[in-house]
Amino acid sequence: MFIGGNKDKVIENIKKSVSKQEYNVKVEVDDPNLSEWEKQRTVNQFLKNSNTLRYKVCNICARAIIDTATRYLNRNTIIVGLEHLKGIQAGAIITSNHFNPLDNTVVRHTMKKASYKRMYIVSQDTNLEMKGMVGFLMRHADIIPLSNNKKYINETFAAIIHKHLRKKHSILIYPEQEMWFNYRKPRPPKRGAYYYAASNKVPIISCFVEIIDLPKEDTPEFYQTQYVMHVLPTIYPNPDLSVRENSIIMMKKDYEQKVEAYENAYGKKLSYDFDKKDIAGWICKE
C-alpha cells in the first residue's frame, strides 16, 4: 500500500522527531500549507457543501470508490481479534496507529467484517485541499474535518461527532495525530479521541496494525508490505467517573494495549530509539 514520492526527507524528519521525543508532530513535506484563515474558509465551505444534493451524489460515488479500493488493497490483510467487536450496541470511537494515507482502509475493511454500516474519519482540515482523486475522496468520503479553531472544535465539531455516534456510526480518530510513513511503533496518544468517547458514553475500539515486509520491491525505496489488523479488547467508560477521569484512564489503557500488541507482534520490547527496521519495507542504502 505505497503512496507518495521520495521518502528520504520524511524518514529523516521521523529520526529527528524521535530524538526530540516529539511523537505527534508533522513529518510529511508535501502536505498543503494553509493560513488559519484559509483553513477556516476551507472548513466552512466543506460544511456548506455537505448539505447540497451535489455533495450527496459525490458522497455515494466516493463511498463506492473507497469500498472497492478497500476490498482490493486488503485482499491479503489478516484480521485477528474480531470477536472483540461482538456485543457493541452503540456508536464507537476507533483508534489505530497512523502510518499511511490509505491505512484507514485496513480499519474500514475490519469494520465491514464486523457488519458496521458506516465509518467516518476525522481528518486534518488541510487535507480538504489535496488535489486529484485523493482530494475528491477527502472532501466526499465521510470525512469529519478537524481544525485548530476553538469555537469550531467546541461547537460544530463536537456536535458532528455526537450526531454520528447517536446514529450508531463508528468514527476513526487517530490519537497519534500526524501520519508517520510506515512507522511500525505505536506512538503516545493525545487525549481528544478518548474525551469524545467519554463525553458521549461510547466505547473505544482499540486497534493496532502490524506491518509485514514482503520480498518483492514496490518502489526503489520500499518493499511491498502486508498488514495484520489486531483488534484489541474494547475499552468502555466507567459511568461512575467524570469525563476527564474516563478519558485519561481510557487513553492509558489504549496505549498499553497497543504497546503490548506491538511487542507480541514483533517479539521485542518497545523502545523509541530509532532503528532502520522501524520503517516497514524500507530499502535502507546506509
Please state whether 132 falls in left (phi above 0), alpha (psi between -120 and 50) or beta: left
The pTM of this model reads 0.94
For the chain, how big is the Rg over CA atoms in Å?
18
Q: What b/e readout covers 74-113, taking b as 16+ CB neighbours within 10 angstroms?
A: beebebebeebbeebeebbbbbbbbbbbbbbbbbbbbbee
Asked if residue 31 has pLDDT above 80, the reply is: no
Query: 250: how many CB neighbours lie within 10 A of its CB?
Result: 27
Phi-psi region of 177 (alpha: psi -120 to 50; beta: other; left: phi over 0): left
- pLDDT of 104: 95
How many angstroms separate the CA atoms of 236 and 137, rounded?
31
Q: How many CA atoms lie within 13 A of 81 on its CB side?
A: 16
Q: Given the DSSP bridges, would you call strands 170-172 and 119-124 parallel, antiparallel or unpaired? A: parallel
The count of C-alpha atoms lying within 13 angstroms of the C-alpha of 134, restricted to the half-sphere facing its C-beta, is 13
- The values of phi and psi at residue 71, to 5°, are -65, -40
State the chain's mean pLDDT as an integer: 93
CA distance 198 to 247: 6
pLDDT of res. 30: 77
- Residues 204 and 137: their CA atoms lie apart, in Å, by 25
SS (H, E, C) 134-150: HHHHHHHCCEEEECCCH
pLDDT digits (tens, 9 = 90+) for 166-221: 999 999 999 999 999 999 999 999 999 999 999 999 999 999 999 999 999 988 89
Q: What is the pLDDT of residue 2?
A: 54
C-alpha–C-alpha distance, residues 200 and 228, integer Å: 30
DSSP H or E segment with residue 78: strand 78-80
What integer is the mean pLDDT of 9-26?
A: 96
Q: What is the mean pLDDT of residues 119-147?
A: 91
Q: Are 128 and 138 in contact (CB under 8 A)?
A: yes
- 19 has pLDDT over 60: yes
At residue 285, the pLDDT reads 72
pLDDT over 70 for what percent of the chain? 98
